[in-house]
Structure 1
Amino acid sequence: MRADTFHDFELAALALYAQAPLRTRYVAKYRHKDAKLVLKCIRYKTDKLQDLNKFERLNRALMAQMQQNPLDLNKAEHDKQELRDGAGAAAGAERSPKAAKKTKKRR
């Protein structure tokens, strides 16, 4: 089976895994030479950068299902964004210019 859009692929992959979790295999391959991401369980090829973010989201959902721990994807994306925003602000506030100079240099 081949999916034309990532949304169709995502729905089909999740449904396939829910239907037969012990018989479902999921393979992701990135061909740098062609700059293409190939996802196999239901075949889907893409060369769009936006689909890589969608792939990460799908991968997290499948991993959560494999661990018998359903994941709310919208909540996970929101938490991830909060961590990014909080970590960047906290790291900048904690470091002073003197503290950065005292770090040991590698040779």
Structure 2
Amino acid sequence: MVYAKTFEDFEVAAEAMLLDNPEKCRYSMKYSHSKKALVLKVTNNEKCVQYKTENQPDLKKIEKFTGNVMNHITNKD
């Protein structure tokens, strides 16, 4: 599993995977209260990319990204 260094790197890698095959991609978000960290993960059965953040300003970016992910996954085109 690969952790992206910046959110922008994570976003580019995750969207590439989603556009390649949206039916096989999975997106998960996990918050660890003890570590005060949010981990995002996008995976298909071949690749996995993760992003870990402890910064609250990243939440707005994550909210926008989550909306885009849901559009890609549920889009019938």
TM-score by length of 2: 0.81
Larger helix fraction of residues: 1
Matched pairs, number: 69
Q: Distance in 1 between matches of 2:56 and 2:41?
A: 18
RMSD: 1.3
Q: Distance in 2 between matches of 1:66 and 1:43?
A: 18
Larger strand fraction of residues: 2
Equivalent residue of 1:30, what SS?
strand
Q: What does 1:1-107 correspond to in 2, within 5 Å?
A: 1-41=2-42, 42-68=49-75
User: Gapped runs of 5+ residues in structure 2?
Assistant: 43-48
Q: Which has the higher contact order (CA 8 A, sep 6+)?
A: 2
- Structure with higher Rg: it is 1
Name segments (4+ residues, structure 1) moved above 3 Å: none
Identity of aligned residues (%): 39
Residues 10-64 of structure 1 show CA distances to partners (whole Å, capped at 9, x for unaligned) of 1111111111112211110011111100011211111000111111010000111
